[in-house]
Structure 1
């Protein structure tokens, strides 16, 4: 495994240019998983196709044009505590990952943020040809590990739409504990909390 981000410093991503690899690892049952800072120029067509596809209504971006989506992620790119990443398996784009510090996000106003908490959103956008059964769950587990190990997080916090029962089931399968339903600016959400081991020294 290689990492370009110092443990515990999520803000370090804010100064990395788009396309910078922040983690690369071989994952059993997946292949080589590479996670990079989102490159708005190179990745926008892929990102727009994913965000506007059927079944992504809970992501909340289906109505945006490509230019509007670019503006949305350009704003994210300018934030110090909220970062967009793109993950690939064997070079094929498979997921958008948004990582953020809950204390600097509206979710931090609806629960008691603990040291080591890290917020993570994942949109699985594609499956490589010939991928094995259970690909999405293995990918989610690997991405949680990437997020934790590259930041030093000890707990992953999720906030899926309360109606998104499929994602809530996936969170529980990963080992997350379901928390309360809360009102956020854009949705009624269900909090999830997944304890993770800190990286080895």
Structure 2
């Protein structure tokens, strides 16, 4: 968050202004590297809006981490399930892309961009329309360019689009606070 000076035109950058705990656990021998744990302390109310806002605020940072742990702490367990469901949905890995279908889309797209419309069937045009909606973003555009220029095989396309070990790992834990504190 950026704070502007009261008397001057200076600006000060502050991080983690909500003051919720962030920590690193101990790494045990032979285990995965330590992932940072972010703790959100909620009130006894019924709403999850504060937690949702917290996740949205930290989403750019959390998306950059290979792994992290989210600890949801509250004075009662009523919202634990809902908080876990929302957090899991927010950071669930995307389903794998069907590489064979993607390569077929690349072939049809190349024919279309080469103005070889007569070579396309109705099914090809349907695939092109669907693919234009489904395969959006820098990763797909770059893979398409590499597919054209480098002649990527479906296996190479799959390695770029569906990297197996590069998936983010998110662990969700809950913690029941011993008393109801008026923290918000």
| TM-score normalised according to structure 2 size | 0.30
Larger Rg: 2
| TM-score normalised according to structure 1 size | 0.28
Higher strand share: 1
Higher relative contact order (CA 8 A, sep 6+): 2
